[in-house]
A and B are shown apart, each in its own frame.
Chain A
Amino acid sequence: MTGVGPVILAQADYPEAMGTITLAHYLFVSGAMFALGLIGFLTRRNMIIMFLCTELMFQAAGLALIAFSRYHLDHTGQTFVIFVLTVAAAEAAMALALVILLFRKRESLSTEDWTEMSG
């Protein structure tokens, strides 16, 4: 290896597509993570934790996208994860601003203080 140039860092070969069963492994991890996020969103009563659980679900979706991107050797899946990250960042900013606003009004993070909002 002479020098760490662009030659060494670049991938020598286009990565081999992975097998169907390996894809199943990643999809199971992704599905389990999504289920955990869903359970957290339904059971926890702290607003911040609920939003954290939506981030967990975003994460699961991202993992599935990357796994499929690798399986099909198509980089659109990875590009899509960039936009998932963008939406997650925007959502976090808005959600946390809302949480701060609600916390100032009631001095509590409980969702049950805001049941009248369900209409």
Chain B
Amino acid sequence: MDALISPLVLYSACALGAVGVVLALPRRGASWRVPGTLLAAIAGGVVVLALGLVANESGQLPNIYFYVFAALALGAALRVITHHRPVYSALYFILTIIASAGLYVLLAAEFMAFALVIIYAGAILITYLFVIMLATQSPVEGDDEFQADYDAKAREPALATLAGFVLLAVLTTMVFGGLGSLRAPSGAQHARIERLALATMPQKIERVLRDTPRRDDSGEPMRDADGRAVMMVGPDERVVRLPAIEGRSMVNIAEGSVLVEMPDGGTRMTNPRDWPEELGVSNVEMVGRNLLADHPGTIEIAGVILLMAMLGATVLSRRQVEIDEEAKAHEARRLHGLDEEGVAS
């Protein structure tokens, strides 16, 4: 198998990381937290460094921010599972989320990055924090003896870490080995997809073209009688929404022209020369298009899942108040200002 980085480096880094995580997991007595965390960090650093060297040779070095966000995300993830106080675990998880959002931005997925911060860090984690604060008694500062046993001691740290890192080693071996057979589609194919997507958005095109000046043959912006710039789509004009008129396609992104309806009812094609270079489809538009055009049924299912979860959570967490007949009668007497014998007090 054509390994991306030497198996020796990969497996020894995994072993080193495993030892580090075992040491870093919470335990009673002598604390190995700091050396354990350091060891795990070194192991992660070795793999990323090896990957970086390979990338440097092939000229595919990721952005420097990738390393910053990856280190933040993995370091915070390690603290999530090793911190002995649940509140801090949750706060470190928020750090992981924010670092992941940074990675999403690097991957040109802006919408998901914002959604992640808002939904995860803003909503889900706050719910977790509420429950943790509701259910955890604060220990005396700096006194681990009062820490609840289930927080202070990990269960089978060595076995679990072994399982986790064997999984990681197998996963990375398979992924790195299989990457060579993975073909990314060509850029030209995707330029076509983008043009198709843009052609279905006449409103967006109209909005942009209203701000784009028409140019005359010398390249100067055209002016009307009052000296104002003439736009590609004027105030009284509109982009024709029909798919095609007289065999001419309404929006021809490849040529850079659209059919515009003039106030007197006639139509004209815009000049390809005026077409704005920067007219493109943003990430949010593409995700929204994909979501609504290709997966409309899934949205409905997601809605049902959320509704069911809401109902289920309400039913589960409702405090069961059992009032028997005697208690009811007692409460009724108390409300009416009567004592136990039924005599007004």
Cβ B167 vs Cβ A62 within 8 A: no
Cβ B100 vs Cβ A43 within 8 A: no
Cβ A70 vs Cβ B107 within 8 A: yes
Please measure, in the bound complex, the distance between the C-alpha atom of A52 and the C-alpha atom of B89, giving whole angstroms.
8
**Chain B binding surface, main DSSP class:** helix
The digit string for A77-108, where 1 denotes a CB below 8 A from any CB of B, is 01101110111111111101111110110001
Cβ A24 vs Cβ B179 within 8 A: yes
From A21, A25, A27, A56, B93 is in contact (CB under 8 Å) with A56
Q: Which A residues are in CB contact (< 8 Å) with B281?
A: 10-11, 14
From A39, A46, A71, B160 is in contact (CB under 8 Å) with A39
Instruction: Kindly state whether residue B115 has any CB partner on chain A within 8 Å.
Output: yes
Interface range on chain A (Cβ under 8 Å from partner): 35 or more
Instruction: Kindly state whether residue B15 has any CB partner on chain A within 8 Å.
Output: no
Closest beta carbon of chain B to A36's beta carbon, Å: 5
Q: Which residue of B lies closest to A53 (CB)?
A: B81
Please measure, in the bound complex, the distance between the C-alpha atom of A89 and the C-alpha atom of B312, giving whole angstroms.
13
Please measure, in the bound complex, the distance between the C-alpha atom of A38 and the C-alpha atom of B77, giving whole angstroms.
11
**Chain A binding surface, main DSSP class:** helix
From A3, A13, A33, A66, B74 is in contact (CB under 8 Å) with A33
Q: Which residue of A lies closest to B308 (CB)?
A: A90
Please measure, in the bound complex, the distance between the C-alpha atom of A118 and the C-alpha atom of B264, giving whole angstroms.
78
Closest beta carbon of chain B to A16's beta carbon, Å: 6
The digit string for A28-58, where 1 denotes a CB below 8 A from any CB of B, is 1101111111111011111011011101100
Please measure, in the bound complex, the distance between the C-alpha atom of A92 and the C-alpha atom of B313, giving whole angstroms.
9
Closest beta carbon of chain B to A83's beta carbon, Å: 6
Q: Which B residues are in CB contact (< 8 Å) with A92?
A: 124, 127-128
Q: Which B residues are in CB contact (< 8 Å) with A17?
A: 184-185, 187, 190
Known pairs A22-B55, A43-B157, A93-B313; A10 contacts B128 (CB<8 A): no
The digit string for B15-49, where 1 denotes a CB below 8 A from any CB of A, is 00100010001000000000000000000100110
Please measure, in the bound complex, the distance between the C-alpha atom of A46 and the C-alpha atom of B107, giving whole angstroms.
34
Q: What are 26 of the A-B contact pairs (CB < 8 Å)?
A: A5-B208, A5-B211, A10-B285, A18-B107, A22-B60, A25-B51, A25-B55, A25-B66, A27-B175, A28-B172, A29-B70, A32-B44, A39-B163, A39-B165, A40-B80, A40-B81, A43-B25, A49-B89, A52-B80, A56-B81, A56-B93, A66-B103, A69-B107, A76-B295, A81-B109, A83-B298
Q: A31-B175, A32-B74, A100-B135 are in contact. List 8 more A-B contacts (CB 8 A).
A: A29-B103, A46-B151, A49-B89, A62-B116, A72-B184, A83-B302, A96-B317, A110-B148
